[in-house]
Structure 1
Amino acid sequence: MPRIDITSDTLTAALSRLSGALTDTTPLMQDIGEYMVKSTNDNFASGTDPDGRPWAPRSQATLDAYAARKDKPGPRPLIGATKSLSSTISYEVGEDEVLWGSNMIYAAVQQFGAEAGEFGARMGTNKKGRSFFMPIPWGNIPPRPFLGVGKDDETGLIEIITEYLEDATDG
């Protein structure tokens, strides 16, 4: 196979910068993390999954539970009185990965859904001495995906990656 040696200082420097940028992509992962947190927050604002499909509405049982607690539900599903889930979206990065989501214990159930009793039950005696048995969750919860990469996100992420690579070679 023929071999060609390139002795261009400009090209060598650009390839060196590109190599360095691809060795540790932490800055790129940070940009992607920021983008995906904003995208996820936009999902909460619109009440839709990453592809723009509306989340399943709250059930009457859930609305009744809010009323019994004298809580006011938020304007959309997944936004409760405390807004805890929607306010805990964050990201972590490594050299070649980004993770984003929520640390709320119920986040996965909201993302993927769950059947009544899927996680067992609570049993005991209340303050009035009555025994109780409460399945966990107490009702069926439909999936309401708030995390994910939708079509618009794919376009945005490609733009972020392209800009990162252009900046790496431009120096």
Structure 2
Amino acid sequence: MATVTYNDQALQNALNNLDRGLVDMSVLMNQIGEAWTQLHTDRLEVGVSPDGTSFAPRSKATLAAYAAKGISPIGGPLRLTGDMANFIHHDYSADHAEVGSSAVQAAMMHFGGAKSRFPNLWGDIPARPFVGLAETDTPEIIEVIEDYLEGLVD
């Protein structure tokens, strides 16, 4: 059996930093959450679900309701007031990161709803899933992880 002994303070410091950074990954999870929040906001801007499909367009009933209220929608679905993007946030701990929206209408917009089940709606609302992990998110999140690990050993 061979034994290797090293006496290099810079290497020891790097290994100690790596060890500490991998025991409590709260900082990394926060960074992942921040990046993932931005990815969600960017997807809302272009109107696509995490799977890459475009959001369903506004229905005739929705457009009629807007017209009756004198509202001229600018932009695509889920962008009328900016609440959907403004209320996307993340939470994290040492072992997880999650993204969601606290906008009042978030669940209805994500899952959709039928007027027959929700009589207060002016028409059926198609599901427009906007929360989730997209394949296109992976490279960005990997980059965040790589930067974190490099920062630990630098």
Unaligned runs of 5+ residues in structure 1 are 120-134
What does the per-residue CA deviation read over 1:134-158, in whole Å, with 9 as the maximum and x for residues that have no partner?
x144432211122222122111111
Corresponding residue number in structure 2 for 1:23: 23
- Partners of 1:21 and 1:74 lie apart in 2 by 45
Question: Normalising to structure 2: TM-score of the pair?
Answer: 0.85
In the TM superposition, 1:31-70 aligns within 5 A as: 31-70=31-70
TM-score by length of 1: 0.78
- Whether the 8 Å CA contact 2:65–2:122 is kept in 1: the answer is no
Amino acid at match of 1:48: V
Secondary structure (helix, strand or coil) at the match of 2:84 reads coil
| Root-mean-square deviation over aligned CA pairs | 2.1
Deviations 1:41-78 (A, max 9, x none): 11121111124321100110010010111112231011
Q: RCO higher in 1 or 2 (8 Å CA, sep ≥ 6)?
A: 2
**Do residues 161 (structure 1) and 145 (structure 2) align?**
yes
Distance 1:8 1:138, change over 3 A: farther
Shift of 1:104: 1.2
What SS does structure 2 have at the residue aligned with 1:165?
A: helix
Q: Which moved more, 1:44-53 or 1:10-19?
A: 10-19
| Residue equivalent to 1:151 | 135
Cα distance in structure 1, aligned partners of 2:116 and 2:98: 29
Aligned residues: 153
Q: What CA deviation, in whole Å up to 9, does each residue of 1:9-39 have, x standing for no partner?
A: 4444333211211122122122212211211
| Structure 1 segments (4+ residues) deviating >6 Å | none
What SS class does the counterpart of residue 86 from structure 1 fall into?
A: helix
